[in-house]
Structure 1
């Protein structure tokens, strides 16, 4: 009987324990609602950053008053956004400049395509007008007198006058040269866009870099203007000078920390006496060989283009004069002048605008500007006394070698073959193998 009582008590105890466990497990679930921080409606990125900064600092101050143990955490959380906010603002500014640069690039690309169509259509139209007028003069010369002959004379005169006016406008604006300007502008804006994207990927852009980026955009706008009236570049300048599309370079105060993550640098930021001597020789060859040669080519193309620009309207004007006197004098010179002048004018027009002589002049001028930019960049680094304010020497040597389309070994062999007392005839090879 004692055994029966013990077993009944044990069974009742196990039953109660199971009820307690079941009661413990079957606790009703409590729904937890998310607490969202208030966000400012319809604010831009900078205003939102300022709002979050103020919200975090206010929240941390309240918690610090309620719980003194929270003071250290609130101090760290409130100071972190304040140190990153200036960098975020500069990043926003660079993003804005990148949008402007991308827009400029697209504008120059579209306008360049439009002006290329101008060149093709105007060249074809003027040639058709001139040849049609020359044909009418020939028909009028072999025909008998009468109303049809007068109609041919008047029509040929009108066509020659129209061709003369169109040629004057075309020779003034030089559509092929305008197209080359827009091509260069689109390429340089694309290059600037890549530089800004690289700076943003590196991180922590400074205010000075933002100002430099804005100066580069404005310098490109001045070098390659979009409108034709007022600010168009002079197509027939008195003196040929290299194209300049960069702002005046200044001595930059570069912090040593900026070069810390690039690589293993030497004691003088990658610079030594041999590298300075190598860069000086590159500058001498660029100045005396490459720049002089391309300036000479640019001057020759400019003079040739001036002759063609004057000859085209002059020939169509003489042809119009011959068509006016056709049949009025008993001589063959009006017919000869009308036919030969029109044919010669079409040849000159095709050679000038179909051959894109203005484009060749702008190409030579831009190439000379590329060499001038290299020269200024090298001299800027060499003249800087503090090596840590220069560009890194190892990276700068690689950049110069690639801009000249040479390897490092080729560049060093080339500069080693040049004596220190460099003269114009000491070196037969040009510095650049790209152009």
Structure 2
């Protein structure tokens, strides 16, 4: 009875409407496939809870490590567990000094570019003013007497006086030399920034390292001042001396032992290396530094002549243009035209040739050799070899600073004989400059 009834119903349905039966049969199949697609995970509830607990504990441990790391560079100098990290305060101070040094470096770059623009713009302006005034004097000489010649005379005189004032200002501040000072300052601050970064990466800085870094910053500020008024370096000094941008080293007591004593082989130093460094110091003092000081003095004297000649020529040209037409002679016209042309040439030679920059370059080079000389003497005069820099590293540093390889440096030191010590070596120690 239970099986015959459904079969009769199905036959009647198929008799009346086959499409309707197909629709009623297919709809449940689609629904069944959609419901059967998701599958439950195989893990039990306890396993899922263990997995979540492990994730939470891992995240907590990671955050604890990050908190410990950031607490090391905290100004309190303590970790989350309350244990003080050694030298953490010194590291923070060095990072602070590095930020200041980086800011100084950018300031010197920007001001150096600005002062280089001053040099080019002022030089071009003065030349154009001078040549325009000279042209006006020539036109006034050929014009008939009257209003035109008066206008040309007044205009040329004003232009010559303006050029004289601008030349005096340029010769006083020497924009090309100012730009070179800022370039040197930016380079040395960048070098100090690298030294501080190396000190921090090596680890264990001390309070004396922090004090030395701060002193180097102050000395660089004095050696390469940013403002013009009050602290500008003298552009025409009476005597030429090497530039100094490092703190004065403390004088140590001279050695009481002879070369080759019981210091041999300690901390990379031996008798050969000490003798080599002494010969290099002798050549640096007598040849390299003396030569650059001599060149600097010659360039300074040449710059003084140009600095006096420029405003003198424009002043004479202004006098000639003012007297043009008032004196029955040709010398006012010659003075106004020729004086202006010569003044333009002198101004271009002085500031276009950047004579002040050349003087500053020679002064800085002699300062570089003086710094090398002091560093070598401080090491070889120290009695305790363990207080010196490592001998092998120091020799490599000296060789690279002089632009030589180790073999070239040793051959050069060996070539400096006792006879050369009396009359001086024929070769310069540096191959870099």
- Shorter-chain TM-score above 0.5: yes
Match of 1:50 in 2: 76
Match of 2:314 in 1: 316
What SS is found at the alignment partner of 2:144?
A: coil
- CA displacement at 1:46 relative to structure 2: 7.5
Match of 1:352 in 2: 350
Q: Does 1:286 align with 2:312?
A: no
Mapping of 1:185-224 within 5 angstroms? 185-224=185-224
Match of 1:157 in 2: 157
Mapping of 1:219-234 within 5 angstroms? 219-234=219-234
Q: Distance in 2 between matches of 1:332 and 1:362?
A: 43
- CA displacement at 1:50 relative to structure 2: 3.4
What SS is found at the alignment partner of 2:163?
A: helix
Q: TM-score, normalised by structure 1?
A: 0.81
What SS is found at the alignment partner of 1:50?
A: coil
- CA displacement at 1:434 relative to structure 2: 0.6
Alpha-carbon contact 1:109-1:186 (below 8 Å) kept? yes
Q: Distance in 2 between matches of 1:334 and 1:189?
A: 54
Task: Report which of the two structures shows the higher radius of gyration computed on alpha carbons.
Answer: 2
- CA displacement at 1:45 relative to structure 2: 6.2
Match of 1:272 in 2: 270
- CA displacement at 1:417 relative to structure 2: 1.2
CA deviations on 1:91-144 (whole Å, 9 max, x unpaired) are 111111111111111110011100000000000000000000000000001110
Alpha-carbon contact 1:288-1:424 (below 8 Å) kept? no
What SS is found at the alignment partner of 1:281?
A: helix
What SS is found at the alignment partner of 1:434?
A: coil
Alpha-carbon contact 1:251-1:384 (below 8 Å) kept? no
Q: 2:325 aligns with which of 321, 324, 327?
A: 327
Alpha-carbon contact 1:302-1:361 (below 8 Å) kept? yes
- CA displacement at 1:201 relative to structure 2: 1.2
- CA displacement at 1:89 relative to structure 2: 1.2
Q: TM-score, normalised by structure 2?
A: 0.81
Match of 2:389 in 1: 391
After TM superposition, the runs of 4+ consecutive aligned structure 1 residues lying more than 2 A away are 24-38, 44-53, 420-426
CA deviations on 1:39-60 (whole Å, 9 max, x unpaired) are xx9xx9689463854x524xxx
Match of 2:167 in 1: 167
CA deviations on 1:22-54 (whole Å, 9 max, x unpaired) are xx965496575777999xx9xx9689463854x
Alpha-carbon contact 2:75-2:92 (below 8 Å) kept? no
Taking a change above 3 Å as real, the CA distance of residues 97 and 47 of structure 1, as seen in their structure-2 partners, is closer
Q: Distance in 2 between matches of 1:291 and 1:124?
A: 35
- CA displacement at 1:420 relative to structure 2: 3.3
Match of 2:359 in 1: 361
CA deviations on 1:256-276 (whole Å, 9 max, x unpaired) are xxxxxxxxxx84100111111
Match of 1:236 in 2: 236
CA deviations on 1:368-422 (whole Å, 9 max, x unpaired) are 0000000000000011000000000010011101111111111111111112354
Q: Distance in 2 between matches of 1:26 and 1:190?
A: 62
What SS is found at the alignment partner of 1:56?
A: coil
Alpha-carbon contact 2:243-2:364 (below 8 Å) kept? yes
- In structure 1, stretches of 5+ residues that fail to align are 1-23, 58-80, 253-265
Q: Distance in 1 between matches of 2:422 and 2:118?
A: 43
Match of 1:379 in 2: 377
- In structure 2, stretches of 5+ residues that fail to align are 1-42, 253-263
Alpha-carbon contact 1:153-1:324 (below 8 Å) kept? yes
Q: Distance in 2 between matches of 1:108 and 1:47?
A: 29
Match of 1:123 in 2: 123
CA deviations on 1:259-312 (whole Å, 9 max, x unpaired) are xxxxxxx84100111111110000000000111111100000000000000000
Taking a change above 3 Å as real, the CA distance of residues 128 and 205 of structure 1, as seen in their structure-2 partners, is same
Q: Distance in 1 between matches of 2:281 and 2:185?
A: 26
* Cα RMSD (Å): 2.4
- CA displacement at 1:356 relative to structure 2: 0.3
- CA displacement at 1:342 relative to structure 2: 0.2
Alpha-carbon contact 1:130-1:159 (below 8 Å) kept? yes
